[in-house]
Amino acid sequence: MDDWKSIKVVGVTKIERVVAEFNVWAIQKLPFPKFKVKIREISTGGFSGSTNVAVKGLLDNEPDWITGFGNTISESLEDTIKSFFETIEGMEEVSLSEDDFVWSDPHDF
What is the pTM assigned to this prediction? 0.89
pLDDT confidence of residue 98:
92
Alpha-carbon gap, residue 98 to 76, rounded angstroms: 26
pLDDT confidence of residue 1:
62
pLDDT confidence of residue 29:
87
Contacts of 83 (CB under 8 A, 6+ apart): 66, 67, 68
Q: What is the mean pLDDT of each run of 10 residues along the chain (109 residues)?
A: 86 93 93 96 95 92 96 98 92 79 89
pLDDT confidence of residue 5:
87
Alpha-carbon gap, residue 56 to 40, rounded angstroms: 24
pLDDT confidence of residue 96:
87
Q: What are the phi and psi torsion angles at 88 (to 5°)?
A: -105, 5
Residue 87, Cβ density class (10 Å: 0-12 exposed, 13-18 middle, ≥19 buried): middle
Q: Which ranges in the chain belong to alpha helices (H)?
A: 73-88
